[in-house]
Structure 1
């Protein structure tokens, strides 16, 4: 028996609008499988488009944060939000981008004990504050990031990634998105 990937109906690729089908097929061609989150979110095409437009604006752009650092934020905050899908899926991407088979598990379990640089630790401390107690953020939090070499735009990116994935975590948890089995093996060897 195959476990459901969402609490809601999952459309077949042939029933999707062309732009969404093309996006999913391009991802499958690159990764070798279709991430379940894409199929689950395709249940609502307009929201699929909006979700992935913002996702890409945050995660695929060039800037002061490396792609591995962006994934660190996702894994740490998703672990705090107990989002299995995002911890597993983005943990796989983090292992690949960091070229480190241990880092995702370390961050997901307790980022404070992970093998991080002081800069990465400051970044994750701030991201966790955004994820768990954003009402307590003060100018001093930004000063600390600037002291670690982040630009003001980097600070925005850290906050935006943590906030976006807070929404994503809540959606994935409430709709019961199931991570693909493939993610568990990626980047471990």
Structure 2
């Protein structure tokens, strides 16, 4: 049940943002740049990080929403399930494993990060820019997960997978996804 009485039940992020549209568009432009812009991590890898962090935070809405995007961008749903169930035995690429380990530690124990955590990322062949992308995705989804959970957004894509607009689409259909979402919110807010 949503914690804000003005939200419907179930509540979607679009319901929250249409009710409180202030600052949504700049956030969506930033999100588009981070998750859809050029980077060392692929769009799929960035969406995987968003999904993984959201799952670690038990944010059902974001984990479901970003899983759909990750799958559109080539990430196998079985890999996502395996990472969440048993990180150490998940069949993740050896190059990607240190980045996912880094964001898990950043998510759960940020004060415990040490130079060797970053070194593992660099030793796997990633640059500082790639690590910073991963850090930004983790940080963004910590914020988003807390917004979602803090107001009780409770729409669950697991029970309504057809409800995600990315299902059945191609990566090229998902360019500027978040900016378009921000524009849609602005229109909804006008009433």
TM bin, normalised by shorter chain, reads 0.7 to 0.9
1:16-31 aligned at under 5 Å gives the runs: none
| Aligned equivalent of 1:75, options 40, 43, 51 | 51
Q: 8 Å contact 2:67–2:77 — kept in the other structure?
A: no
Q: 8 Å contact 1:122–1:144 — kept in the other structure?
A: yes
Q: 1:147 to 1:108 in 2, by over 3 A?
A: same
In structure 2, the residue corresponding to 1:59 is in which secondary structure?
Answer: helix
Bigger proportion of residues as helix: 1
Q: Look up the match of 2:16.
A: 40
In structure 1, the residue corresponding to 2:96 is in which secondary structure?
Answer: helix
Task: Tell me the TM-score normalised to structure 2 length.
Answer: 0.74
Measure the CA separation in 2 of the matches of 1:94 and 1:173.
Answer: 21
State the shift of 1:104 in Å: 2.7
State the shift of 1:40 in Å: 2.0
Q: Does 1:7 align with 2:16?
A: no
| Aligned equivalent of 1:172, options 145, 148, 158 | 148
**Runs of 5+ consecutive residues of structure 1 not aligned to the other structure:** 12-34
Give the count of matched residue pairs.
161
1:1-189 aligned at under 5 Å gives the runs: 7=4, 9=6, 36-98=12-74, 100-177=76-153, 178-180=155-157, 181=160, 182=162, 186=167
State the shift of 1:98 in Å: 1.7
Q: 8 Å contact 1:75–1:91 — kept in the other structure?
A: yes
Measure the CA separation in 1 of the matches of 2:34 and 2:13.
Answer: 17
Q: 1:183 to 1:5 in 2, by over 3 A?
A: farther
Q: Which has the higher contact order (CA 8 A, sep 6+)?
A: 2
**Runs of 5+ consecutive residues of structure 2 not aligned to the other structure:** 169-191
